[in-house]
Amino acid sequence: MLRSMYSGISGLKNFQTKLDVIGNNISNVNTYGFKKGRVVFKDLISQMNAGATAPSETRGGVNAKQVGLGSQLAAIDTVTTGGSLQTTGRVLDLAVSGDGYFRVATGAGEGTASGDISYTRAGNFYLDSAGYIVTSDGMYLLNTDGDAIQVDPTSQSMSIGQDGTVNIVSSTGELSSAGKISLAKFPNSEGLEKVGSNYFTQSPASGFPDGADSIDEADYNPQAEGKGSIQSGFLEMSNVDLSEEFTEMIVAQRGFQANSRIITTSDEILQELVNLKR
């Protein structure tokens, strides 16, 4: 069979993956805190027809003669650039201005998180019946000590500072703090794994927060160790750019079409070879 046919097949598979990633990006264009994906290609092995030769006293050097055998996926990146901030005016709508992820976990009904910690940039938080700050899925927002943040349900008002401090005014008018919201910053944030529902989990590629040797040794204070500040009354939108995605869709469609034409042309050549003997 012709090598061009198999090269075309590899191109079809890769551009189909690219279209899958683009489709996911577009479907999450209005998802809070969503980080878009990007597909990168690389070439496959090249077959050597003739090796390179070094120059001699009478002749110059000759380059190698190689034929490429198609393409393959190099990476599917997560682009972690920040999205635009949307004003909501709601105290528990939080956005991170800069680097960092909110830390959330399950099993914090008694104040201490016992489940696996997840990370998110979606800052639409709520108060449950016990006064804990939770996500829309009921996961507890953690403070810098790894505990759930609880607000007295009888308090008059609440505000959240840029350093993550949750300030409450009690029913008697006294000002107090319910804790400080934690942020985690990873050496390689693109190495975090997406697990759905706007959550990320740590992976061997991401490293530990703040470059520490373990989860417990990291500093989770906002505005420290290169982390950003917390903006109350704002939500971070998706970083998907529709104009860019539709342009990439056109490129992927034409690439898919061109590889299909390679397969069709190769098939026509094979048909001519079969028809040589009539």
Q: What are all long-range contacts of 242-250, with beta carbons under 8 Å and residues at least 24 apart?
A: 242/26, 242/29, 245/22, 245/25, 245/26, 245/29, 245/36, 248/18, 248/22, 249/19, 249/22
Average pLDDT over residues 73-96: 93
Question: Looking at the predicted structure, is the pLDDT value of residue 108 above 60?
Answer: no
- Reported as a pLDDT band with limits 50, 70 and 90, residue 116 is confident
Q: Which of 79, 110, 273, 48 is nearest to 189 (CA)?
A: 79
pLDDT digits (tens, 9 = 90+) for 14-73: 999 999 999 999 999 999 999 999 999 999 888 888 889 899 888 899 998 889 888 999
Secondary structure element (H or E) that encloses residue 27, with its range: helix 3-27
Indicate the SS3 state at residue 271: helix
Interval 158-202: pLDDT, tens: 999 999 999 999 878 788 888 899 999 999 999 999 998 999 999
Domain map of the chain by residue range? 3-47+67-80+242-274, 85-236
- What is residue 147's DSSP assignment? B
Q: Which of helix, strand or coil describes residue 56?
A: coil
Which long-range contacts does 164-167 make (Cβ < 8 Å, 24+ apart)? 164/221, 164/222, 164/230, 166/133
